[in-house]
Amino acid sequence: MSLIICLLFASTLQIQFHQSVAAGPEVKPSHLQDPHDASSWPGHLKPLGSEATHLPILELNQFPSPTEFFQHYVYPSVPVVFRHGARRSPAYEKWSDEYLKSLPESQEMINVEMRKVENRNIPPARMSFAEFLDRYTVYDEYLVTGVPDFLKKDVLVPPPLLCDNITVNFLDSVMWFSSGGTKSVLHNDDVDNLNCLFSGQKEILFVNYTKYRHQIVFDHPEGSFSGVDVERVDFNKYPEFRDVEFFEAKLEAGDCIYIPYKWYHQVNSIHRNIAINIWWNHKANIIPTPVTCGNPDPELSLADVRFYYHDLMNNEEEEIIHPELVFVENPGQSLTTFMEEEGKEILTENQLVGILSTKLPMLQGVWNQEALDIGHKIFQQIDMDDNGEISSQDLEQLPNEQEGEGPFGLRLQQKLMMLIDVIDEEISKTREKQLQKMLANAIVTDSDILSSSQEDSKLVGTVDETKSDKDEL
């Protein structure tokens, strides 16, 4: 394996761009591979991505400003590693087991996962933080919990997030703590994520969500994860992972990494491992400029900011994260009510698109071709007799599922979530253009911010809160 180091420049930052070029394991010549026999495909029954193309992840030796961070990485959805970014936090030096045990608050209760190889069918155990510290090097378990309040002061907010317009949209911070050897499922998150590693090493595989969202459709959409065995991929069961390009990141203690909204990722932790991630609302109207950012304290810690996720009830969280769920829970009733109110006996595909725009305001005015294609698939799923129109007879034939949690509802939910994501990309492009225009003019006034916010609200139409399951990273 050879290492190629390329120097790139983003704004005033010098970027180190590392790419590992591997000869790769020996595979069968193409003429010996049966395209219809998944067991002959390179990588079958081997670790996820072991024989796939691996692409480089951008690396920076210093943090960018909030403006640069959003302009070059968040808006275009580009993962990036910040070398040594976590070293500025007191936690990097202080968080030994002895120090953590010495704190009186270590008697507080926390949730502990009972398998290092993630298994979401096994419920967590409840124990004190101190008890976990006595057990974690011996037992097959690791800690996944919101950062305890008594430890938040030791973690500084990373400089790319030091902006009032960003911190007011923080949702949660989570601690990941183990003796190493943990393996997550392949999953994605409904939030943007900045993760900092204070102890140990991590190896992370990424897959570009935008590129592969039509190819990789999770068989566990209720938890946003795939049931694929990441240590032994069965292509007979999961053929969608053939010919997928992976990004790979290797983190050392003191590094941080940005994981874009919805990017698929799988995480392996090595040695004593402590990481903290900050989640913020991807759908919020964040346009970081000198005016919107204010003048935050560079020593701002997690103890100094509010995480809105903790202020919400479970049902509120679900409605905010997935507004489409209200429609999915009973699509037949939603469409029947609309048809009765409008005096219609049938619905055409164009009329269904109009209804979706009404039920999900963020869709209004930004339907591109990909979105229309997904809308067509939604129409086909509801058109039970496949006659090109939706009638009351079609709606009566829809499966009667409890709150849309059966196969029909989950398939519909997947399509609607994908539809919202397609639209969200258009919104991100709009925000990026607004920021570029403001920076080009070099004059940002309160009226500029108000105007951009009003324009964005036409595109989004949602409150600025989201949430994710507590997945690794």
Q: Model confidence over 315-341: pLDDT tens digits? A: 454 454 455 556 666 778 888 888 888
Q: Residue 362's pLDDT band (boundaries 50, 70, 90)? A: low
Alpha carbon of 180 to those of 140, 264, 275, 374, 423: distances in Å? Answer: 10, 22, 12, 41, 39
On the question of pLDDT at 406 being above 90, the answer is no
Model pLDDT, residue 327: 67
Which domains, and CATH codes, for the chain? Answer: 2-309 (2.60.120.650), 317-442 (no CATH)
202 or 359, higher pLDDT: 202
On the question of pLDDT at 470 being above 70, the answer is no
pLDDT digits 0-9 by tens, 20-67: 333 344 444 444 456 778 889 999 999 999 999 999 999 999 999 999
Model pLDDT, residue 117: 72
Check if the beta carbon of residue 144 is closer than 8 Å to that of residue 473. Answer: no
Nearest-Å Rg of the Cα atoms of the chain is 24
Number of Cβ within a 10 Å radius of residue 46: 14
The pTM score is 0.77
Mean pLDDT (the chain, rounded): 82
- Kind of pairing between the strands at 80-82 and 58-60: parallel
Check if the beta carbon of residue 273 is closer than 8 Å to that of residue 179. Answer: yes
Reduced DSSP (H G I as helix, E B as strand, rest coil) percent helix, strand, coil of the chain, to 5? 40, 20, 40
The helix/strand/coil state of 124 is coil
Model pLDDT, residue 400: 76
Q: Residue 469's pLDDT band (boundaries 50, 70, 90)? A: very low
Alpha helices in 271-348 (DSSP H): 290-293, 314-321, 324-329, 331-342
